[in-house]
């Protein structure tokens, strides 16, 4: 199933299961929110390895860079259908920074996800050299930022 | 009694005349502009550093559409909603008919070609620090962009803020023409100061404003409420921003914070622009931010 269809299906199913507002009595954010945040941390960890080399804070290590880039590629390939479900936006969940507008712009959010996939694939292909890494990590940051700009609430 | 009435009348007339004189839109002396020739290639960099597309491109525009400067983005403020105008080279709806002098008057003095005041949503209080050569280069570059044949939408500003003449008073109070905000910076931070205080107009968001919308220079870059109402624009003086210079420069290149979160909100838009600067320019911005006087956060 294509990523697009799977996300649309997930959104639809979750919408049908509506009233799907996570009761605060469960304590902590709903699992989908935790999963999203954990996923973002895994991006950050692997980007941190690459970024330290790109910045010149760490010596370039081609094997290590490739491992981190491969991990990022694996992460963007995960099916996130069940992360991004209605009832988990900042309007419903205190710990969530997901703007509710995302659910009105699913096609656009999908396009931004695809742009990230493409940027990460390019990074995976180029991470074997320091110049390649430096040139290809910027567009990944741009793709992260495009979605954060549109659909992430500012930090409180 | 008649003498008093006469004195009052004279005073009133003098007052109105003084108001009229003091609030008149200013323009650049012509002799400053002779021999100024713009270079569109250099202007592309001025355009990026000035962040022009961030406001004047259509809302949500990406890629090549960011060069279509038809305007339309809306900016809510306590004084009303401002709508970014068309600055594409369309001769009727945009700035196709503008001379370099027109652009200088707009950016340095907030004065339109018809001699009216612009609202300071257009950051001429910062652009006043931009060099004449950079404006000439920007003018040359803007004329190479695709024309957009769409009229500018009017601002939605109520009384009394819709009286543009009053902006002359606002400018007298709040538009400074006394050179850099931070007077002493090391040589490696001078270019960064020019970019931050002038073209980059960083202070417009990162510095708090008073009740009339004037910048509080005593808290320069010390952080401010977010005009969208959610969250705060951060304090980026050394009192709060403890990133290394390399971290700051890298953030402006890629949008990655030192812990590899990424820029969001309006800063994601800003990074699109700073990513186009040279590494030396970004490093100099970082050096400048380290040289800015620290502003302690007020006790909450």
Predicted confidence band at B40 (pLDDT cuts at 50, 70, 90)?
Answer: very high
B250: contact with A, CB 8 A cutoff: yes
Q: Is A147 annotated as a binding residue?
A: yes
- Report which secondary-structure segment, H or E, holds B140: helix B132-142
Spatial strand order of the sheet with B156-157 comes to B74-77, B80-83, B156-157
Top-ranked range on mean pLDDT: pick from A19-23, B84-88, B210-214, B222-226: B84-88
pTM score above 0.90: no
- What DSSP letter does each residue of B25-46 carry, written as one string? PP---GGGGTT----HHHHHHH
CA B102 – CA A35 distance, rounded (Å)? 54
**Residue A39 marked ligand-binding:** no
Is the preceding peptide bond at B160 cis, omega within 30 degrees of 0? yes
Question: Domain map of chain B by residue range?
Answer: 26-174, 187-291
Least CB-CB distance to B231: which of A56, A138, A155? A155
Neighboring chain A residues of B62 at a CB cutoff of 8 Å: 146
Helix and strand counts by DSSP (H, E) for chain B = 12, 5
CB contact set of A12 (below 8 Å; sequence gap of 6+): none
pLDDT band, very low/low/confident/very high, at B298 (cuts 50, 70, 90): low
pLDDT digits (tens, 9 = 90+) for A119-154: 999 999 999 999 999 999 999 999 999 999 899 988
Q: Delineate the domains of chain A, giving CATH numbers in brackets.
A: 3-10+29-151 (1.20.120.10)
Contact by Cβ (8 Å): B74, B58: no
E strand intervals along B137-270: 156-157, 224-225, 232-233
Q: So what's the pLDDT on residue B82?
A: 95
pLDDT band at A156, cuts 50/70/90? Answer: low
pLDDT digits (tens, 9 = 90+) for B231-278: 789 999 999 999 999 999 999 999 999 999 988 888 988 999 999 999
Residues A96-125 pLDDT 10s: 999 999 999 999 999 999 999 999 999 999
The conformation of residue B22, written as its DSSP 8-state character, comes to H
CATH architecture for residues B187-291? Orthogonal Bundle (1.10)
Structural contact between residues B113 and B186, judged by C-beta atoms closer than 8 angstroms: no
């Amino acid at each position: 199933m294509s990523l697009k269809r799977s996300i649309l299906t997930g959104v639809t199913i979750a919408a049908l299961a509506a009233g799907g507002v996570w009761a605060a009595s469960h304590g902590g954010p709903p699992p989908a929110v935790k999963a999203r945040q954990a996923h973002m941390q895994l991006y950050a960890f692997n980007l941190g390895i690459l970024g330290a080399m790109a910045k010149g804070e760490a010596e370039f290590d081609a094997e290590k860079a490739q491992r981190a880039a491969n991990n990022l590629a694996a992460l963007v390939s995960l099916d996130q259908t069940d992360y991004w479900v209605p009832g988990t936006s900042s309007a419903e969940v205190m710990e969530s920074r997901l703007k509710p507008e995302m659910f009105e712009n699913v096609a656009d959010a999908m396009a931004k996800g695809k742009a990230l996939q493409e940027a990460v694939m390019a990074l995976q292909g180029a991470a074997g050299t320091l110049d390649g890494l430096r040139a290809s990590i910027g567009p990944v940051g741009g793709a992260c930022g495009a979605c954060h700009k549109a659909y992430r609430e500012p930090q409180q | 009694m008649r003498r008093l009435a006469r004195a009052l009348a004279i005073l009133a007339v003098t007052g109105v005349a003084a108001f009229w004189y003091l609030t008149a839109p200013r323009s650049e002396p012509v002799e400053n502009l002779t021999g100024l020739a713009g270079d569109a290639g250099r202007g592309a960099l001025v355009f990026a550093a000035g962040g022009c597309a961030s406001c004047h491109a259509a809302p949500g525009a990406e890629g090549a559409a960011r060069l279509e400067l038809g305007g339309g983005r809306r900016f809510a403020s306590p004084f009303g909603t401002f709508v970014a105008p068309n600055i594409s080279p369309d001769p009727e709806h945009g700035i196709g008919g503008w001379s370099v002098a027109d652009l200088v008057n707009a950016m340095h003095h907030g004065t339109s070609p018809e001699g009216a005041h612009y609202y300071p949503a257009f950051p001429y209080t910062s652009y006043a620090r931009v060099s004449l050569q950079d404006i000439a280069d920007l003018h040359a570059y803007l004329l190479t962009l695709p024309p957009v044949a769409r009229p500018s939408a009017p601002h939605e500003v109520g009384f009394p803020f819709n009286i543009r003449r009053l902006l002359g008073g606002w400018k007298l109070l709040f538009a400074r023409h006394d050179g850099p905000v931070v007077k002493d910076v090391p040589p490696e931070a001078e270019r960064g100061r020019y970019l931050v205080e002038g073209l980059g107009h960083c202070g417009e968001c990162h510095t708090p404003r008073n009740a009339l919308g004037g910048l509080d220079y005593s808290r320069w870059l010390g952080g401010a409420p977010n005009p969208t109402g959610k969250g705060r624009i951060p304090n980026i003086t050394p009192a709060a921003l403890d990133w290394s210079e390399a971290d700051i420069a890298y953030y402006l290149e890629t949008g990655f914070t030192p812990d590899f979160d990424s820029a969001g909100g309006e800063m994601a838009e800003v990074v699109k622009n700073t990513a186009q600067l040279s590494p030396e320019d970004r490093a100099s911005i970082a050096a400048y931010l380290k040289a800015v006087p620290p502003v302690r956060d007020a006790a909450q």
